[in-house]
Amino acid sequence: MKRGAVIFGGLALVLVATAVLVVQKETVLARGRPVLLRLAPVDPRSLIQGDYMVLDYAISQTWREGNERPQEDGNVVLRLDEHGVGQFVRYETPGTTLAPDELRLRFRLRNSRMRLGAEAFFFQEGHADRYANARYGELRVTDNGTSVLVGLRDENYQPLGKAVQ
- Binning pLDDT at 50, 70 and 90, where does residue 41 land? low
Determine the Cα–Cα distance for residues 136 and 118; give it in Å rounded to an integer: 12
Residues 6+ apart with CB under 8 A from 18: none
- Asked whether residue 85 carries a pLDDT value surpassing 90, the answer given is yes
Highest mean predicted confidence (pLDDT) among 62-66, 131-135, 161-165: 131-135
> pTM here?
0.75
Percent of the chain with pLDDT over 70: 85
User: What angle (nearest 5°) sits at the alpha carbon of residue 140, between those of residues 149 and 92?
Assistant: 105
- Average of per-residue pLDDT values in the chain: 81
Alpha helices in 32-145 (DSSP H): 45-48, 128-131
